[in-house]
Amino acid sequence: MDSLESAVAAELGGATRVELCSDLLEGGITPSAGLIATARKKISIGLHVMIRPRGGDIYYSEDEFDVMRRDALMAKQLGADGVVFGLLDPTANVDVQRTRELVDLAKPLKTTFHRAFDVSADLGRALEDVVEAGADRILTSGGAETAVGGAAALHDLVKRAKERVIIMACGGIDDQNVQAVLETTGVREIHAGLRTAVESPMRHRGKSISMGISGAGYQRFVVQESRVAQLVRSVRAFKE
């Protein structure tokens, strides 16, 4: 999620952790120090910060990797519970050396290898590489667009992981399909976006100028407490 409002709503709805980022139009990049610090003051659940210096591909120059190192340290200093990142090499394999460096730098924070995993050349090899690098979990849809579409691959990854690393399912998960995802994949952790478009409270409507997406000057996307609560209820019903 990319706003303080969404982070607070997630906690009120029963979430146990949030992944904080900026610019979800680019798939999420590192949030500002101000957003991290304020979110830490406002919520008590797990706060995991995206470490991604820009949108686009997931191969980074040495200068960009230096930015990632500095941002990981910043997140730790501001009280985050974990950091989320992913690095591939030019052959689309996990960059084990750099991943291990960020894992070690972030300690004792928890580390998640994000959906860079899903565009790697081979998911099985990528799993072993992430384990070797020492990350705590992998955020994945099984290489598919959604967790439902990647259910078979997710199930295989859970079996391969053998509790060496947590497989966290993501991709289009909501209260309507979460029980099916949990049942068919065997995952025990999920990640959901649940964003909803809301109208701006601005009363004056001037020129319709795009602020990144169509209509963005007069609407925004937020996570709503009610949708999180619905998802949490579905998960709890499955576990019962």
Beta bridge partners of 169: 140, 190
176-197: pLDDT as tens digits: 999 999 999 999 999 998 877 7
Instruction: Show the DSSP H helices in the chain as ranges.
Output: 4-12, 33-42, 62-77, 96-106, 123-133, 151-161, 178-185, 225-239
Residue 29: pLDDT over 90: yes
Is 23 or 231 the better-scoring residue by pLDDT? 231
Q: Quick one: pLDDT at residue 240? A: 78
Q: Quick one: pLDDT at residue 169? A: 97
Q: Quick one: pLDDT at residue 177? A: 96
DSSP 1: -
Across 212-217, average pLDDT: 52
Residue 210: pLDDT over 70: no
Q: Among all chains, which residue has been given the structure tokens 């996990």?
A: 94
Q: In this prediction, what percent of the chain has a pLDDT beyond 90?
A: 82
119-169: pLDDT as tens digits: 999 999 999 999 999 999 999 999 999 999 999 999 999 999 998 999 999
Pairing mode of beta strands 195-199, 82-85: unpaired
Please state, in angstroms and as integers, the Cα–Cα distance from residue 64 to each residue in 51, 113, 116, 134, 208, following that order: 11, 17, 16, 22, 35
Q: Quick one: pLDDT at residue 104? A: 97
Q: Quick one: pLDDT at residue 208? A: 60
Q: Quick one: pLDDT at residue 214? A: 46
Burial 220-237 (b: 16+ CB within 10 A, else e): bbbbbbebbbbbbebbee
> Dihedral sign, CA of 129, 79, 42, 3?
negative
Contacts of 78 (CB under 8 A, 6+ apart): 33, 36, 37, 40
Across 202-208, average pLDDT: 63
The answer to whether 232 touches 214, Cβ cutoff 8 Å, is no
Distance (Å, whole) CA 131 – CA 95: 12
Average pLDDT, the chain: 92
Which range, of 23-27, 113-117, 201-205, averages the lowest pLDDT?
201-205
> pTM here?
0.91
Longest dimension (CA), the chain: 57
CATH architecture group of domain 4-239 = Alpha-Beta Barrel (3.20)
Is 239 or 34 the better-scoring residue by pLDDT? 34
DSSP 25-66: GGT-BPPPHHHHHHHHHH--SEEEEE--SSSS-S---HHHHH
Residue 77: pLDDT over 90: yes
- Top mean pLDDT of 21-25, 73-77, 209-213 is at 73-77
Across 57-72, average pLDDT: 97
CA 72 vs. chain centroid, Å, equals 15
Is 186 or 199 the better-scoring residue by pLDDT? 186
